[in-house]
Amino acid sequence: MTRNKKQKTKSSSRVALYDTTLRDGGQAEGITFSVADKLKITRALDDFGIDYIEGGWPGSNPKDREYFATMKKTRLKKAKLAAFTMTKRKRVKVSEDSILAEVVQARTPVVTVFGKSWDFHVKEALNATPEENLCLINDTVAYLKDLKREVVYDAEHFFDGWKNNPEYALKTIEVAERAGADCVVLCDTNGGFVPYDIATACDQVRGVLKGNFGIHTHNDSELAVANSVMAVRHGAVHVQGTINGFGERCGNANLCSIIPVLRFKLGLDVLNDSKLAQLTQLSRYVDELTNQQPDDRRPFVGRSAFTHKAGVHTHAVAKDPTTYEHIKPEQVGNRRRILVTDQAGTTNVEVKARELGMKIKRKDPLARKVIQTVNQLEKDGYQFEGAEGSFKVLLAKAMGKYKPFFDLEGFRVIVENRGQGELYSEATIKLQVKGKMEHTAAEGDGPVDALDNALRKALEKFYPQLGEVRLTDFKVRILDSTDGTAARVRVLIESDDGQERWGTVGASENIIEASWEALVDSIEYKLMKGKKSKR
């Protein structure tokens, strides 16, 4: 039934990186790619140095059809473009299968075919006999190899099949290899396996296959990265995953974690240092295109990955970062952050001040005064962990270097229901700016938005750089719910000027007052970065 092809010898220690963000990642809840998004991500992955980019399933939807039509005219620098498909349908000649015809028409150098390895799926999903399934695998792979395509065979549910009927599961991948598959990929499709089972299965696979095999894992047990790394330790030379771990259910294996682990922990040849230094940028770029809020706690690329809060930790890191950091943040394009909180010591103040372009020695009495001020403010509901902008303003005031860029004469916010089912918000504000009185009004989607618009309207003629700033996040936290509507609230605002992101904080029993404090700190932080007030 199967036909023998000339087999390749085992490959070197280099591990091929296969990205399926554009297909598997697009199956994640809340993520939808436009064609333009897919093209941008393709270019970014290629620039980064990914070996294989799985663009989608040709013919499955109009967007993928348009994407592959465009990619026919696009030259990639390094990556090979792969089209995804399934084994041929039963009782249809492989050359007449319309699904495979779409893949062939896409003319990608690589075709990835998934087939069944779990006899339970063969019977229940395919409604086929085990022997029929082997024929489907053989005929599909052989057909694509005759068309001179590089074929990656994804053994769907391989580990489930191996656990329940190892002889048959191993037979399916052996058939795929004999039909000519260039790489057989073992899939933990349900994401339910643990590393030691992965290791045992891979060892058995190495005894059956003569050529390369790879790994594709899902994260339903929070083990996708660990399982992928374990597979590499046990012979896999091809790793599939997605940027930021996007994927159906709990996601796919996260390449943003796998890549640095392979490089820095296993010492494998995946990407050079200059490319790895772009990893954080790539992670955030994909988040931006998919309209996802970046997860600060992602290993390697998250904002908190190299962030230090406790005074003991900060003091040690100031002497030698390896005391509390397993790699240098710059190696993955990230940076170290020092937080100043009620758990901080004077070293936190010294390091954080230096990070913000200011100088305070930890033995300076001023550093202790700053800690005391932070402790009192946090007792009153403020929080500076995510509010570096507010902390810089606080430092400037403590050092006697603070000069306000404007003075508030007063503001008024109106929220009105005009009986049409919509609320109307307007803010009026009076400011003294550079010796001039500014009296402006603006509308907004809510009272805080109206206040922000009015404030910017008054200031941008004096400080045009404020036009670069946009508010990217607004959070309200009730500090003591037992006080009901009179509870004190904390407002955290995140701002971005295209080059930097910063947070500011305000706290009050009045949400408008708390928002005002955070808005003013955000603006003053931006102005402190650039040209100072001439007042």
Task: Reply yes or no on whether the pLDDT at 533 is more than 70.
Answer: no
Residue 343 pLDDT grade (very low, low, confident, very high; cuts 50, 70, 90) = low
Q: Mean pLDDT of all residues in the chain?
A: 90
Confirm whether 194 is domain-assigned.
yes
Q: Are residues 114 and 145 in the same domain?
A: yes
Give the per-residue pLDDT at 342: 52
Q: Is the residue at 298 inside a domain?
A: no
The answer to whether 374 and 340 are in contact (CB under 8 A) is: yes
Does residue 8 lie within any of the structural domains?
no
> What is the pLDDT averaged over residues 128-134?
96
* Residue that wins the pLDDT comparison between 433 and 487: 433
Confidence category of residue 484, pLDDT binned at 50, 70, 90: low
Give per-residue pLDDT as tens, 38-94.
Answer: 999 999 999 999 999 999 999 889 999 999 999 999 999 999 999 999 999 998 999
Asked whether residue 129 carries a pLDDT value surpassing 50, the answer given is: yes
Please give the pLDDT value at position 468. 93
Answer yes or no: do 272 and 421 share one domain: no
Please answer whether residues 136 and 87 qualify as being in contact, where contact means their C-beta atoms are separated by less than 8 angstroms: yes
Strands 212-217 and 183-188: parallel
CATH number of domain containing 28: 3.20.20.70
458 shares a domain with 329: no
Same domain, 128 and 147: yes
Residue 423 DSSP symbol: E
Please give the pLDDT value at position 368.
Answer: 81
In 3D, which of 147, 149, 85, 145 has the Cα closest to residue 114?
Answer: 85
pLDDT > 70 fraction of the chain, expressed in percent and rounded: 94
Which of 257, 280, 283 is CA-nearest to residue 270?
257
Residues 418 and 386 in one domain: no
Domain tally, the chain: 4
> 256 and 400: one domain?
no
3-state secondary structure 472-504: EEEEEEECCHHHHHHCCEEEEEEEECCCCEEEE
In the numeric block, which tokens belong to residue 377? 């403010």
Check whether residue 351 and residue 396 sit in a common domain.
no
- As a whole number of angstroms, the distance between CA 177 and CA 175 comes to 5
pLDDT of residue 400 exceeding 90, the answer is: no
Report yes or no: 173 and 208 within 8 Å, Cβ to Cβ: yes
What is the predicted pLDDT for the residue at 6? 40
Are residues 336 and 256 located together in one domain of the fold? Answer: no
**Same domain for 181 and 107:** yes
| pLDDT at residue 344 greater than cutoff 80 | no
pLDDT-derived band at 423 (thresholds 50, 70, 90) equals confident
- pLDDT bracket for residue 13 (50, 70, 90): low
Strand order in the sheet with 470-478: 470-478, 489-496, 501-508
Structure-token pair, residue 101: 């015809």
Residue 300 lies in a domain: no
> Do 214 and 89 fall into the same domain?
yes
- Angstrom distance (rounded) from CA 493 to CA 505: 6
pLDDT reported for residue 499? 85
- Say if residue 243 is in the same domain as residue 361: no
pLDDT score recorded for residue 9: 36
Say what the pLDDT of residue 8 is: 40
Given 321, 349, 373, the domain boundary residue is: 373
Residues 159 and 57 in one domain: yes
Strands 489-496, 183-188: pairing is: unpaired
Residue 504 lies in a domain: yes
Report the pLDDT value the prediction gives residue 359, as an integer from 0 to 100: 80
pLDDT of residue 367: 81
Q: Give the domain extent around 327.
A: 307-373
Check residue 315 and give its pLDDT. Answer: 76
Answer whether 339's CB lies under 8 Å from 311's CB. no
Comparison of pLDDT for 244 and 401, the residue scoring more: 244
- Domain membership of residue 1 (yes or no) is no
Mean pLDDT of 348-371: 78
How many Cα neighbours within 13 Å face the side chain of 143? 20
Task: Give the model confidence (pLDDT) of 292-329 as tens digits.
Answer: 888 999 999 998 999 887 768 877 887 888 999 999 99
Q: What is the pLDDT of residue 80?
A: 98
CATH for 437: 3.30.160
Q: Is residue 168 situated within a structural domain?
A: yes
Q: Which of 37, 111, 27, 39 is nearest to 70 (CA)?
A: 39
pLDDT band for position 532 (50/70/90)? very low
In a domain, 134, yes or no: yes
